[in-house]
Chains A and B, each alone.
Chain A
Amino acid sequence: MATPVYVPRINNNDDEVKILGFEVVKGAKVSADQILGQIETDKAVMDVTAPEAGYLLGFVGQPEEVVKVGSVLLWIGKTAEEEIPEMKADPGHDGAGGASQTTAKARLLLARHGLSVDAVPPINGRVTVEAVERYLAESGGKVGAPRRGGEAAVQPLDPGPNVAGSVVELTREEKGMASTVSWHRDFAVPGYIEIEYDTAPWVEYAKFFQEQKGLLMPPLLPLMAWRLIQVVKEMPRINATFVHGKRYEYQPVNLGFTIQAGEALYLAVVRESQQLDELAFVNGLGDVLRRAAGHNLRESETSGATIGFSSMERWKVTRHVPILPPHTSFMVAHAAGHAGKAVLGASYDHRVLNGGQVVSALKKIATPPKHQ
């Protein structure tokens, strides 16, 4: 029989706590006393541990949610397939002013679809699985799609603005950007770190390279991107993503490079870039970026990035925090310098990388190769 894990009390003065997050995912095998997640009040943070060994059947509370002490937080079963009982929830768990009762299974279903309990009309005063399913059917699929593994935070259904306006369809590129931003929000645990560095060595190196090779295009950014690819060879974990609780290190280095072409923002991809030498990469990236500027990118050049490089130097921006492209964990943020100094930053997925690793990678990228 499934075992509920209740929200523990942190101190005598707080009857409600906030769920900070969970360290396990639905379906995971857990051992007795294993830390499952954390809760907090204004005064303290506490680990929630498993009372017994088993499998995590599902969450009732969700990260960032404020819940009553003593309400059901999650369920553990002897097997991963065990059913969660259809139970009456703690009345206090329905939120402020909630007149109806919501069953545990209904809460799971609501979370999976990113729905607020307030959106669902109760049946006989109760929000049950039947009530949620009826609401989903009547909504005609217009509500949120099921979330992967039920592990993402609850996203309330956006009722839309109540000010007069008109709906404008997104272009293909705008849809791509919206998709990227949504991945960053829903699936990454993003962080951002920057370091300050002297720009002169890189400027000098790029000038030397341009003159030596007779290039028309200033090669500074392609050369810095090539340096990033070399850093991957030393630190393969920056060319990775997070899949089902594990780090997934990519074999190829598919470098995604942001380029603004008119109104469109592309992430132009150079595949297998680890196989190219410095000049071949600079030329290869130049080809791809030229096609992007002409809105002629090939299909293979618009997806599959495993790592990213972004610059806003063009706009004289001195600091920016880029969005992580889907299934990447490291995106360099290059910016305009001032008086010989500039910041070099990176957005990163904290599930894959820690701050020290990011700083180490940034320091390497901030240092150009030696002249040959």
Chain B
Amino acid sequence: MLLDKDAIAAEIKAKIVEIAAQTGDDASSLEMDEIIPATGLIDSTGLLELIAWYEKHYAIPLAQEEINIDNLGSLTRMAEFVLRKKQAAA
């Protein structure tokens, strides 16, 4: 399991690129601090797929109240949230 912030962000970005491609969009230029829903690169169904993958891949079950812009709004925030959850569990 990768516990480096940049490596985690790179994994998440790769997943977003894969999801965006399903609807013909190219997310390869997504920046670290861009607010993902605001980019329009992936829709609500794509976001659901991303979150489902994120929970499973990093083994961090999410409560509904944790699924917000502050925690998961950008690549940076998603990566930092993984690290925070892992530290809390350690």
Contacts and interface: CB of A to CB of B under 8 A. Distances in A.
User: Are A and B interaction partners?
Assistant: yes
Contacts of A10: none
B48 A217 contact: yes
Nearest to B46: A314
Interface stretch (A116-124, A289-297, A355-363): A289-297
B56 A294 contact: yes
Nearest to B51: A290
Given A290-B51, A313-B43, A217 B37 contact: yes
Interface in A308-365: 313-316
Contacts of A294: 52-53, 55-56
Contact of A216 (B45, B52, B53, B69): B69
B72 A216 contact: yes
Interface in A264-289: 283, 286-287, 289
A218 interface: yes
Nearest to A294: B52
Interface string B59-76: 000001001111111000
B46 to A, nearest CB: 8
Q: A283, A293, A315 — which one has the most chain B CB atoms within 10 A of its CB? A: A293
B29 interface: no
B48 A259 contact: yes
A314 B41 CA distance: 11
Main secondary structure of the interface of B (DSSP, over half): helix
A217 to B, nearest CB: 5
B4 interface: no
Interface residues of B, number: 22
Contacts of A313: 43
Interface residues of A, number: 24
* Interface-central residue, B43, B48, B71, by most chain A CB under 10 Å: B48
Contacts of A214: 68-70
Contacts of A261: 49
B22 to A, nearest CB: 9
Given A217-B37, A221-B44, A286 B67 contact: yes
A251 interface: no
Given A259-B48, A261-B49, A216 B73 contact: yes
